[in-house]
Amino acid sequence: MNNPEFAQLCSRAWSLPVLAHLAESGHGRVSPTAHALGAGRRIIGETFLHLAQLGLLERAPGHGHPLRPEFVLSSRGSSVAAWAQEFLVRMSTSDWAAMRRAWALPVLRLVSEPQTFGSLRGQLDPVTDRALSLCLTRLT
C-alpha cells in the first residue's frame, strides 16, 4: 500500500478497528459493529461508506435491509483487514488512542528518517499545513 492509499485509509479514525473487526467475522452491519467497538453508529456508518469507496468493503449481495445493509470484505479488503487486525493486536489501548488521531499513522510511517516539513507535506498530498503541524506537535 503506497503512502496516498495509506493516508486515505487512515483519514477515518475508526477504519482500522472496523477492518480488524470484520476480519474476524468476514461481514457486518453498522449497528452491531458500532456496539462491538463502543463507537457511535453514525461514525461507524460513515467509516463503512469510506471503506466501500476505497474498495475494501462491498455490500453483501442479497443480504440486509436497504436501510441497514450488510457489508463484506472485498478481496483487497481481506488482506488489509488481516494487517489491521495484526497491527491493533500489537498496540496497547493508550497507544491506539494517540495513533487514531488524524494523520498520526501516515506521518509515523514517513518519519523513519529526518525530513523537512515541506517534504512530509508533499508525500501526504491532501494534508493541510495546520493538520500536519498539529499532528507533529501531538507526536512529540
pLDDT, greater one: 16 or 91: 16
pLDDT at 67: 72
The pLDDT value recorded for residue 98 is 67
> Given the DSSP bridges, would you call strands 57-65 and 68-73 parallel, antiparallel or unpaired?
antiparallel
pLDDT digits (tens, 9 = 90+) for 34-59: 999 899 999 999 999 999 999 999 98
Q: Does residue 80 contact residue 19 with C-beta atoms inside 8 Å?
A: yes
The 10s digit of each residue's pLDDT in 103-119 is 777 887 777 777 888 88
pLDDT band at 96; cut points 50, 70, 90: low
- The pLDDT value recorded for residue 8 is 81
Rounded Cα distance, 91 and 138, in Å: 18
Q: Are 72 and 27 in contact (CB under 8 A)?
A: yes
What share of the chain in percent tops pLDDT 90?
A: 29
pTM of the model: 0.75
- Per-residue model confidence (pLDDT) at position 41: 93
- Closest Cα partner for 84 from 62, 100, 72, 101? 100
pLDDT for the residue 54 = 92
For 72, residues 6+ apart whose C-beta sits below 8 A from its C-beta are 22, 26, 27, 57, 58, 59, 60
pLDDT in tens, 69-94: 889 999 999 999 988 888 877 776 66
Q: Which residues pair with 58 in a beta bridge?
A: 72
CA atoms within 13 A on the CB side of 92: 2
Q: How far is CA 54 from the centre of its chain?
A: 11
For the chain, what's the residue count?
140
